[in-house]
Structures are given as C-alpha cells and as structure tokens.
Amino acid sequence: MPTLGVNIDHVATIRQARQTVEPDPVAAAVLAELGGADGITVHLREDRRHIQDRDVRVLRQTVRTHLNLEMAATEEMVNIALEIQPDYVTLVPERREEVTTEGGLNIVGQQSWLTEVVQTLEAAKIPVSLFIDADSAQIEASATVGATFIELHTGRYAEATTEAVQAEELALLDQGCQQARALGLRVNAGHGLTYWNTYPVACLAGMEELNIGHTIISRAVLVGLERAVRDMKGVIWGRHGAIESQG
C-alpha cells in the first residue's frame, strides 16, 4: 500500500491568522511522525501565506521521515530548494488569488523551462515530482522533462457528486498511473482526499505515496494529530474499523 505524506500547511495557516508563533508546524510534524506519517509535506508559497522560510529550514533539521517541499517552478524557489535539500520537491502551479492549488501543472506548455528546473534540481540529487492531472499528454511530457515522479491530482475524483462519476475519475487515475509507470515514472497522488474516499486510490496498482492535508488537520482539531494520522494510516491499509475503534 502507498505511504502517507502528511501536509501540515493548515497548522501554519492558524499561526499566521495571528502572526504569532503558535501552533508551530515543526511540533505538528513531530506528532504526525509519532502517529505514523511516512513523510511531511509543506508548500512554501510565493506569498508566504502559511509556511515560512524558517519552517522549512527547521523542518529540514527535525523531520525524521522525509520532507517533500511543494513549490512553484520559479528561480527563487529553486534556489531555496537547492539550499535546503528536501528529500524531494513537488512542482505545483500557483495563482495568488486561489484558496488552494487548483489544477495540475501544465507541463506541455512549458517543457523547456521545466526541463531546466528538473535538471537543476536532479543534478543536486533532489528528485522532482510534477503535480498534474491524469492526462495522457501531460504524463508523456512529464517523462520528457526528466521528472522522477508525478503526483496525480485527485481533486476531480474527490469532488465527484455521483458514484458513476467517481468511478470514471478513479479509472482515469488508474490509467494515468499505469501510463506513467510504463514510461518509468514513479507515481504519487493527492488533493481533496478524505477518510471516506482515500481507500480506492490507495488500492491503485503502483501508487507510492498519498499526500493528504485538509482532512487530517480537520480531524486533528477534534481528536489530536497523532490519532488523526493513525486513523488515516488505518484507512490506507483497509482497516476502516480503525476509525471507530481507537477511542
């Protein structure tokens, strides 16, 4: 089954609401790891609306699993990644006015720039993941620019309002995963995954890591982060009863 990368951006969002020092995403990362997180994911946005440069620096020193740095494919962010040396980088599209990352990155439309970015990072031994829709042309372009991973955008699957549409979206994720693996890419997935819709994605053949944030931090507000992470690990492993039985 895939590993779990816990996205802790929302912890920093609460802190930034008061421009103070609590809650500290560094403490959240420790608790997430104690709960069984296999990796910690943070998105350093250009507008620094939640995660700050200091967070990424301290997390690099304290994370015991692996650190996935989500960022835009800009020169500023590439330089920060080269300095910090996360275990891998996920390149995401960024628009200032968005509430969260909306669509996948357009690889087809910026192949030469992305080739340069991927080469620079991979030459520094930082594997690169590209956050894309499960679209055949984008997957092919991801292999062409030399990425190690793709992260399939699960937003459309998560937002499906009927079982039929959800099944169609899951089939597209499955096809995308198989196409990518045939091209030699490793495959992660994320966005909009919850305690109720994650298991079918976790079961897709060849899926390596799921990056999940909102649903885990939402549950953590009520039951604590360690338990929220443990519950999600239970979902990924098909132990649905884990959610009810850990009282």
Minimum separation from the CB atom of position 49 to ligand PXP (A): 12
Residue 9 binds to ligand PXP (criterion: CB under 6 A): yes
From 7, 65, 142, 198, residue interacting with ligand PXP (rule: CB under 6 A)? 7
State the catalytic residue, choosing from 70, 94, 151, 209: 70
* Torsions phi, psi for 57 (to 5 deg): -65, -45
Told to check if 90 binds ligand PXP by CB under 6 A, we report: yes
Reply yes or no on whether 153 is catalytic: no
Query: 112: which residues sit within 8 A by CB, 6+ positions away?
Result: none
10 versus 30: smaller Cβ distance to ligand PXP: 10
The correct pick among 51, 56, 92, 202 for binding ligand PXP (CB under 6 A) is: 92
Show the binding pattern over residues 159-198: x = contacts ligand PXP (CB under 6 A), - = does not.
-------------------------------xxxx-----
Say whether 169 is catalytic. no
48 annotated ligand binder = no
Interface residues for ligand PXP in 55-74 (CB under 6 A)? Answer: 70
- Long-range contacts of range 125-130, CB-CB < 8 Å, 24 or more positions apart? 125/85, 126/81, 126/82, 126/85, 126/86, 126/87, 126/88, 126/89, 127/87, 127/88, 127/89, 128/88, 128/89, 128/90, 128/91, 129/68, 129/88, 129/89, 129/90, 129/91, 129/188, 130/90, 130/91, 130/105
Place of tokens 């020193």: 61
Q: Is 70 a catalytic residue?
A: yes
Q: Known catalytic residues?
A: 43, 70, 191
